[in-house]
């Protein structure tokens, strides 16, 4: 890595505790922290300027695609993207009603043991006091250190603190901003990213900032002459619509600066967890440098690298260095290594339609998901979308209250500090593994059972409340061998009738109290757990 910028990637002298940026050295130095294995549940504020339009995900890219509803939304509310691009939306993010202390207390009461703050997204705005990127929330939009505000509130409540970095994809994600309308009265006129320079900011709110630094510069610019919106979509899908993990060939300085920004983020806020929105290590060898820097600094802070970084679609060997994150997906098996799934009760970025239509994922499905993940040796990271002003809406508050109600009764017994049993569970609902497959989770039945163990007891979790006797084959005397069930108790109170037979244990639960969901039966007995 040559040049002055590359030489600045390690701004401090090397220490004897520094871990070399290679897979073998990192694997030898690091293991999944016990606090993460115990935590099981975290909440994420996936919050950026893309929440301002209240239209859902990827607004900063899709508002430049003429055939997409986000383009029409932008035209109606903000103007044509040649005149008023996403640069202007960044500055409309004011966070004027944000109370991080209130939200963090709310999430702690709901059983979250860690909290994740979004440090930047593909729109390339750093939501912190960034030393290496002028487009940050100290200068633009909120004029506040968003990550720093979250961090103080989280530490005050005694939770673990994480940050998520999505910016490695900005260079290709933003290429639609260099395009144009293929149809209509302004066909062929390039959008704002194509024409704006630092000189154009004179006298404007962004004077002194370079729009090309925000939009990343042209890498895949649509050629002139595309005549239909469908053809323009097809062009972008082929050229810049892929998920690219490599260093941009025409802009290596973007990648070197990415490393500076990531190391600065770690040094300033000392996170317990870093989430990389990447398939494998981000930015090729620079990702290894970033993780080595993080684990080395954590060794200075804690004596050991008692932190973790996550990425996605990780082969087994890579999980010696990173925790595998499964975005919006299930696992079809009990995994030997700790892992995480991240999901959201709506879109990642706030969408007003979810509130209007009452279409958020309800608390019952969140708890079902949590129990399924924990039974398979995983953690659930749940995003509660935040509005541009820093608040969550009343429907979201109701869902958080429902999660809280269940967790306050069951969390410390069946979730926090628990470990998987010999099998994750049983039942008719067939879940395939991998990302973006969570729609099947809505169909869980009372015969879908999950297991966790803690302090010598076995927790039998019914993902729907049974209204008739339920046979659990894994607890039959034939399956358990010499083990026998001595007692069965409904967590939270209520009589459980059980009959352990050769082929299954039969459980009969009392009717649910009003609003009760996902019952847990605590089993004790010789050799059970």
* Residues 407, 267 share a domain: yes
Q: Tell me the pLDDT tens digit for each residue of 464-513.
A: 999 999 999 999 999 999 899 999 999 999 999 999 999 999 999 999 99
Q: What is the mean pLDDT of residues 78-88?
A: 98
Q: Which residues contact 47 (CB under 8 A, 6 or more apart)?
A: 117, 118, 127, 146, 385, 386, 390
Q: Which of 332, 528, 375, 401 is nearest to 461 (CA)?
A: 375
Q: Tell me the pLDDT tens digit for each residue of 141-197.
A: 999 999 999 999 999 999 999 999 999 999 999 999 999 999 999 999 999 999 999
Tell me if 189 is assigned to some domain.
no
Confidence at residue 2, expressed as pLDDT on a 0 to 100 scale: 30
- For 93, phi and psi rounded to 5 degrees? -75, 110
Q: Tell me the pLDDT tens digit for each residue of 199-210.
A: 999 999 999 999
* Residues 347, 316 share a domain: yes
Q: Is the predicted pLDDT of residue 307 greater than 90, yes or no? A: yes
Tell me if 75 is assigned to some domain.
no
Instruction: Report the C-alpha gap between 252 and 246 in whole angstroms.
Output: 10
- Which residues constitute the domain of residue 503? 425-524
Confidence at residue 30, expressed as pLDDT on a 0 to 100 scale: 98
* Residues 158, 132 share a domain: yes
Buried b (16+ CB within 10 A) or exposed e, 221-243: bbeeebeebeebbebbeeebbee
Instruction: Report the C-alpha gap between 125 and 201 in whole angstroms.
Output: 17
Tell me if 72 is assigned to some domain.
no
- In the three-class reduction of DSSP (H, G, I as helix; E, B as strand; rest coil), residue 463 is classed as coil
Q: What is the pTM of this model?
A: 0.96
Tell me if 326 is assigned to some domain.
yes
Tell me the CATH number at 118.
3.20.20.80
Confidence at residue 439, expressed as pLDDT on a 0 to 100 scale: 81
Q: Which of 387, 415, 443 is the last residue in one of the domains?
A: 415
Confidence at residue 13, expressed as pLDDT on a 0 to 100 scale: 60
Q: Look over the chain and give the mean of its residue pLDDT values, rounded to a whole number.
A: 95
* Residues 475, 328 share a domain: no
Q: What distances in angstroms separate CA 137 from CA 124, 253, 435, one per listed residue?
A: 11, 22, 31
Percent above pLDDT 70 for the chain? 97
User: Is the separation of the CB atoms in 160 and 114 below 8 Å?
Assistant: yes
* Residues 458, 325 share a domain: no
Q: Tell me the pLDDT tens digit for each residue of 417-462.
A: 999 999 999 999 999 999 998 887 779 999 999 999 999 999 999 9
Buried b (16+ CB within 10 A) or exposed e, 482-512: ebebeebeebeeeebebebeeebbbbebeee
Q: Is the predicted pLDDT of residue 12 greater than 80, yes or no? A: no
Q: Is the predicted pLDDT of residue 271 greater than 60, yes or no? A: yes
Q: For the chain, how many structural domains are there in total?
A: 2
Q: What is the mean pLDDT of residues 258-286?
A: 97
* Residues 272, 145 share a domain: yes
Confidence at residue 3, expressed as pLDDT on a 0 to 100 scale: 32
């Amino acid at each position: 890595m040559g040049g002055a910028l590359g030489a600045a990637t390690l701004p401090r002298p090397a220490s004897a505790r520094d871990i070399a940026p290679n897979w073998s050295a990192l694997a030898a130095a690091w293991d999944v922290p016990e606090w993460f294995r115990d935590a099981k549940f975290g909440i994420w504020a996936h919050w950026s300027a893309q929440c301002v339009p209240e239209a859902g995900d990827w607004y900063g890219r899709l508002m430049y695609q003429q055939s997409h509803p986000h383009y029409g939304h932008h035209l109606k509310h903000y103007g044509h993207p040649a005149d008023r691009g996403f640069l202007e939306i960044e500055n409309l993010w004011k966070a004027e009603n944000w109370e991080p202390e209130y939200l963090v207390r709310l999430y702690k009461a709901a059983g979250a043991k860690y909290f994740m703050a979004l440090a930047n997204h593909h729109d390339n705005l750093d939501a912190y006091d960034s030393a290496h990127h002028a487009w940050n929330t100290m200068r633009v939009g909120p004029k506040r250190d968003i990550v720093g505000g979250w961090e103080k509130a989280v530490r005050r409540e005694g939770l673990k603190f994480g940050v998520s970095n999505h910016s490695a994809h900005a260079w290709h994600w933003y290429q639609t901003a260099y395009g144009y309308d293929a149809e209509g009265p302004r066909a062929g006129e390039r959008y704002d990213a194509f024409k704006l320079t630092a000189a154009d900011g004179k006298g404007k709110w962004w004077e002194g900032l370079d729009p090309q630094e925000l939009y990343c510069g042209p890498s895949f610019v649509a050629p002139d002459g595309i005549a239909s919106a469908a053809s323009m979509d097809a062009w972008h899908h082929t050229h810049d619509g892929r998920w690219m993990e490599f260093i941009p060939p025409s802009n290596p300085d973007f990648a070197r600066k990415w490393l500076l920004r990531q190391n600065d983020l770690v040094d300033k806020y000392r996170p317990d967890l870093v989430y990389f929105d990447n398939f494998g290590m981000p930015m090729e060898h620079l990702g290894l440098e970033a993780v080595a820097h993080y684990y080395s600094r954590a060794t200075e802070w804690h004596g050991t690298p008692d932190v973790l970084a996550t990425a996605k679609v990780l082969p087994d060997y890579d999980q010696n260095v990173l925790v595998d994150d499964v975005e919006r997906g299930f696992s079809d098996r009990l995994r030997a290594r700790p892992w995480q799934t991240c999901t959201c009760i709506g879109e990642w970025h706030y969408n007003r339609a979810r509130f209007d239509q009452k279409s958020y994922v309800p608390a019952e499905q969140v708890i079902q998901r949590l129990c399924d993940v924990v039974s398979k040796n995983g953690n659930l990271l749940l995003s509660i979308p935040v509005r541009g002003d820093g608040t969550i809406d009343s429907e979201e508050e109701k869902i958080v209250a429902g999660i809280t109600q269940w967790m306050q009764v069951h969390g410390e017994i069946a979730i926090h500090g628990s470990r998987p049993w010999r099998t994750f569970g049983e039942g008719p609902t067939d879940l395939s593994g991998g990302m973006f497959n969570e729609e099947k989770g809505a169909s869980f039945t009372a015969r879908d059972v999950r297991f966790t163990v803690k302090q010598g007891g076995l927790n039998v979790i019914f993902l729907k409340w049974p209204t008739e006797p339920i046979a659990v084959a894994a607890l039959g005397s034939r399956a358990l061998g010499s083990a026998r069930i001595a007692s069965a108790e409904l967590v939270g109170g209520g009589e459980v009738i059980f009959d352990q037979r050769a082929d299954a244990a039969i459980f009969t639960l009392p009717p649910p109290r009003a609003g009760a969901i996902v019952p847990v039966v605590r089993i004790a007995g010789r050799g059970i757990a």
